[in-house]
Every structure is written in structure tokens, then in C-alpha cells.
Amino acid sequence: MKIAILGGTGSFGSALAKRLAATDEVVIGSRDAERARVAAEELGVAGATNEDAVANVDLVVLACPASAALVTAQSLREAIGTTPVLSVASALRVQDDRSIAEQVADALDAPVAAGLHTVAAATVGGEQDALVCGDDARAKELSLELAGRAVGGRAIDAGPLANARALEGLTGVVVAVNKRYKVHAGVRLTGL
């Protein structure tokens, strides 16, 4: 799969790119082409501006901070076109009755899935499950495929995109647990 990771120079985007580089064609995007090039060289992937990174890929991963996710999506609407998008952004505090992923879906012409909200940069590749939700079958399928390679556990279909509200909310819970116990915990579902 050819994957563009926007926010690929950040800690989560870089960890994800490094993990996927062995199995996928990865290009990390940044607003700054030189920053993308330098980070990409260290990770062994390609680097480009966000707009160039999304060209001719199978899946766009929107891995920029929550505060920049919607603006980034809006600015790249035309460049992304109808390419499926995986939104991984999570605000630690609920600021709207709609998830970031739902807002991104409203801003784009592309189908949007949401997932990896309980996976941190330090836990990419770890023995945890990755939850993915979405309404579009193709976006969800590609996102689940990516999620399955991003963690050592399972990629789990968590239902429709409306469930992104709950998934994004889990980020704050995992962060609180990690701070309290000074660990790098993730989520693992039982009974499946």
C-alpha cells in the first residue's frame, strides 16, 4: 500500500512511518519540504510537502495534532480529492459534540475513517489492539489493514464513524493511566 502520513515529522507520525516502512511505500508530509526531507531520510521513507505527499497514494493518514487536523484537511481538500483518509487526531478535551474525524469528513470530498486513538508514538508496534471506525467500506478496509501492521495486536472494526467520538475520548483515558502509573499502556479487548 502507498501511504501518505501528514504530520509525519511529529512523534506519532514518525513512529508510524518507521513501523510501516518495512511493508508499505510511505511518504511523510509536512508544511515544510526541507523538514520532511530530513525526517524522511532518518526514517528511510520519502518526504514531501503535504500537498505533494497526498498525490497518487492509496491512503492518507491525518496524523497532525488535533489543533491542526481540521485546518490541514481543509487546506488539502482539492489535493486529497477522493483518496480515503484515516484520521488519528484526538483532542484531550471534548470541544464539540462531533468528533474531529466527523468534522474532517465534512471538510473533505474523501471518505474518512478514524482510528489508532489509543496508540501512542511509544506504543506503535506494541501488543495492543487498534480500533478503527468509519462509514465507508473502502476507507475502513484500508485503515484496518494499516492498523493491523501498526500494532502487535489486532485491528478491530469499531463500527460507524459516529463512534469516533468515543474513540477520540479514549485518548484522554489512556494518557491519564500512563501518567498515573508512569507506563506506556494501550488497549486490548478481550472475548474476541
For residue 120, the model assigns a pLDDT of: 95
For residue 44, the model assigns a pLDDT of: 96
Q: Say how far apart CA 61 and CA 68 lie, in whole Å.
A: 13
> Does a structural domain hold residue 154?
yes
For residue 91, the model assigns a pLDDT of: 81
Of 129, 146, 105, 149, give the one whose Cα is nearest residue 189: 129
* CATH code of residue 165: 3.40.50.720
> Does a structural domain hold residue 188?
no
The answer to whether 5 and 29 are in contact (CB under 8 A) is yes
Coil, strand or helix: which one is 166? Answer: helix
Number of structural domains found in the chain: 1
> Does a structural domain hold residue 121?
yes
For residue 96, the model assigns a pLDDT of: 67
For residue 95, the model assigns a pLDDT of: 65
> Does a structural domain hold residue 110?
yes
> Does a structural domain hold residue 191?
no
The answer to whether 133 and 114 are in contact (CB under 8 A) is yes
Coil, strand or helix: which one is 106? Answer: helix
For residue 94, the model assigns a pLDDT of: 61
Q: What is the dihedral of CA 87, 155, 93, 6, to 10 degrees?
A: -30
58-90 confidence digits (pLDDT tens): 999 999 999 999 999 999 999 999 999 999 999
> Does a structural domain hold residue 186?
no
Which residues of the chain have a pLDDT value below 70?
93-96
The answer to whether 70 and 104 are in contact (CB under 8 A) is yes
Residue range of the domain that includes 48? 2-181
Burial class (CB in 10 A: 0-12, 13-18, 19+), 99: buried
The answer to whether 22 and 45 are in contact (CB under 8 A) is no
> Does a structural domain hold residue 192?
no
For residue 25, the model assigns a pLDDT of: 98
Of 75, 35, 23, give the one whose Cα is nearest residue 54: 75
> Does a structural domain hold residue 187?
no
